[in-house]
């Protein structure tokens, strides 16, 4: 969430940034500043009452020492009133603090200056493109390839659970596992430490990284235990450092994790969700970084280059988009989406998002670092490296050979232990 002092000092920039997002509740900016003013006044009054109480306590002690019990008892009556005042002020202060937090939870991050205004995906900017993005309508879509080679069974998934929960079989399961191991190994080679996190999180973790309350309806909730299935491993991995002050010399912290991901995707329907295009359960390998503020944008560029390398190793045509304000996620200051061109579906498929949250998540998490200048909020970043379903779909659709076989990218063959799918 935003820092109140930043809003106070940069109110015009905050409002302009929110307008880039087409954020309609601009009145929340004034509301949070007004409530915070009441909070600060209440804190001032409470500090004065507590100071007066401490002063009287010392006077009472000295009077008792001097044998002036009657005078001391008179002053003790005053302390009763002060205790009542301090209790009332503490309750009021707590109420204002909670109100400030509740309002801040409703205000999204301020976009970086590079992010342009826009309403939706139509306004995103293409900043890089590589490979031959040529439609090949003669190629089979991946759901037909999956049926032809009996490697993914969508109907069986419906039987077991419901739509959006595919069953991978034989070489399909091996290809899925190969991609996971390939991504983890490449991330480890780039200096990321592997984590195996829990795949369910508590409410505090959801609030910490910004999934709650913004995306509450998109998460699977376990009511009996008050837990949530994770939408991405970013959530548990970043929350490792919730309520933590790290040493400056320990930064950057670079982590990677594989996990299944669970998303309700409420309201999703139509041809764009066919096959692996949009699922309720899918697998993803994530990279997470915790950085000093002055280093976070260089780290973002490094993450972008890393994901580029993964896609080039898989011999897939791709492009990078910088998302406009209206399409940038609630917690992100800037996001770059990677899309792979599907030759069979004749369209671009998103396979990764790489984002810098600046100190927005860190403020919610109370994730700080300490150096010679004192304690300050860190910056957090994360990215998919990579999401498996659409990568798998793209390999099945883009690497089809004239004889109908699927050629496995060379970089992946040591993991699959087969060169073609036939």
Binding-site members for ATP are 263-265, 350-353
Report yes or no: 142 and 46 within 8 Å, Cβ to Cβ. Answer: no
> What distance in Å separates the CA atoms of residue 107 and residue 14, rounded to the nearest whole number?
10
Q: Can you say which residues are annotated as belonging to the binding site for L-serine?
A: 232, 263, 286, 382
Helix, strand, coil share (%) of the chain residues, nearest 5: 50, 25, 30
Nearest to 6 by CA among 274, 376, 356, 343: 376
Here the tokens at position 356 are 């810098």
Crossing angle between the packed helical segments 388-398 and 170-189, to the nearest 10 degrees:
110
Report yes or no: 287 and 254 within 8 Å, Cβ to Cβ. Answer: yes
With H, G, I as helix, E, B as strand and everything else as coil, classify residue 256.
strand
Cα angle 64, 67, 71; round to 5: 65
Cα angle 58, 59, 61; round to 5: 65
Q: Can you say which residues are annotated as belonging to the binding site?
A: 232, 263-265, 286, 350-353, 382
Report yes or no: 4 and 99 within 8 Å, Cβ to Cβ. Answer: no
| CA torsion through residues 273, 274, 275, 277, sign | negative
């Amino acid at each position: 969430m935003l820092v109140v002092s930043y809003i106070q000092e940069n109110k015009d920039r905050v409002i302009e940034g929110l307008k880039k997002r087409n954020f309609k509740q601009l009145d929340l900016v004034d509301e949070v500043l007004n409530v915070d003013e009441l909070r600060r006044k209440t804190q001032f009054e409470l500090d004065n009452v507590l100071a007066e109480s401490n002063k009287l306590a010392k006077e009472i002690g000295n009077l008792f020492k001097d044998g002036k019990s009657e005078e001391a008892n008179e002053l003790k009556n005053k302390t009763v009133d002060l205790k009542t005042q301090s209790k009332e002020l503490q309750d009021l202060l707590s109420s204002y603090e909670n109100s400030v937090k509740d309002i801040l939870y409703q205000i999204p991050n301020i976009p970086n200056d590079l992010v342009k205004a826009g309403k939706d995906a139509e306004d995103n900017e293409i900043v890089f493109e590589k490979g031959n993005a040529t439609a090949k309508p003669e190629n089979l879509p991946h759901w037909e390839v999956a049926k032809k080679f009996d490697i993914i069974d969508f109907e069986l998934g419906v039987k077991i659970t419901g739509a959006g929960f595919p069953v991978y079989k034989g070489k399909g399961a091996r290809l899925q596992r190969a991609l996971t191991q390939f991504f983890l190994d490449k991330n480890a080679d780039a200096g990321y430490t592997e984590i195996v996190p829990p795949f369910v999180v508590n409410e505090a973790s959801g609030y910490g990284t910004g999934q709650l309350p913004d995306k509450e309806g998109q998460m699977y909730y376990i009511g009996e235990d008050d837990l949530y299935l994770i939408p991405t491993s970013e959530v548990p991995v970043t929350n490792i450092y919730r309520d933590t002050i790290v040493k400056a010399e320990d930064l950057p912290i670079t982590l990677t994790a594989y996990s299944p991901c669970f998303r309700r995707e409420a309201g999703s329907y139509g041809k764009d969700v066919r096959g692996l295009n949009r699922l309720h359960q899918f697998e993803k390998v994530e990279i997470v970084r915790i950085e000093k503020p002055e280093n976070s944008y260089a780290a973002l560029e490094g993450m972008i280059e890393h994901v580029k390398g993964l896609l080039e190793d898989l011999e897939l045509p791709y492009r990078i988009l910088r998302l406009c304000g209206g399409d940038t996620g609630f917690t992100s200051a800037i996001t770059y989406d990677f899309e792979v061109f599907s030759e069979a579906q004749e369209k671009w498929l998103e396979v990764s998002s790489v984002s810098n949250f600046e100190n927005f998540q860190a403020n919610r998490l109370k994730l700080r670092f300490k150096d010679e200048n004192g304690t300050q909020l860190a910056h957090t970043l994360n990215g998919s490296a990579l999401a498996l379903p659409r990568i798998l779909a793209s390999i099945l659709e883009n690497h089809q050979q004239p004889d109908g076989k699927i050629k496995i990218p060379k970089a992946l063959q040591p993991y699959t232990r087969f060169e073609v799918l036939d």
